[in-house]
Amino acid sequence: MLRIVGDGTPHDPAYRVPFQVQRERAPTYELLNIGDERLCGISLALLGDGRLLWGIPTVLESGHSLLVHVHGDDLARSSVVVVRWFRPSDDEYLWRVSF
């Protein structure tokens, strides 16, 4: 049986992840803000085996990027990176990146 959860009013449209990962220079990856908003409070966490190195900036303007260095054995099978950021509305988002 299907039923509506909540009050049935329409919600905000889907939000496209504003990042693109450039993988050509692995183990150095470039996280590029392809959206049209300034993103704040950016942080990254590695889940699984390996090491993650990254630094400033924690704010990315549209069109800007940050470099991320990830080292480990068989990252595609053993690890993911979780990217966390805030939109200008202060809404928090998480995005899981696989190798």
Q: Range of 50's domain?
A: 19-98
Residues (pLDDT < 50) of the chain are none
Residue 42 located in a structural domain = yes
Q: Tell me which residue of 82, 83, 91, 81 sits closest to 37, measured CA to CA.
A: 91
Amino acid 3: pLDDT? 55
The DSSP element (H or E) to which 78 belongs, if any, is helix 75-78
Amino acid 44: pLDDT? 96
**Predicted TM-score (pTM) of this structure:** 0.83
Amino acid 99: pLDDT? 84
Amino acid 13: pLDDT? 78
Radius of gyration of the chain (CA): 16
Identify the CATH number of the domain in which residue 28 sits.
2.60.40.1230
Domain count, the chain: 1
Amino acid 10: pLDDT? 63
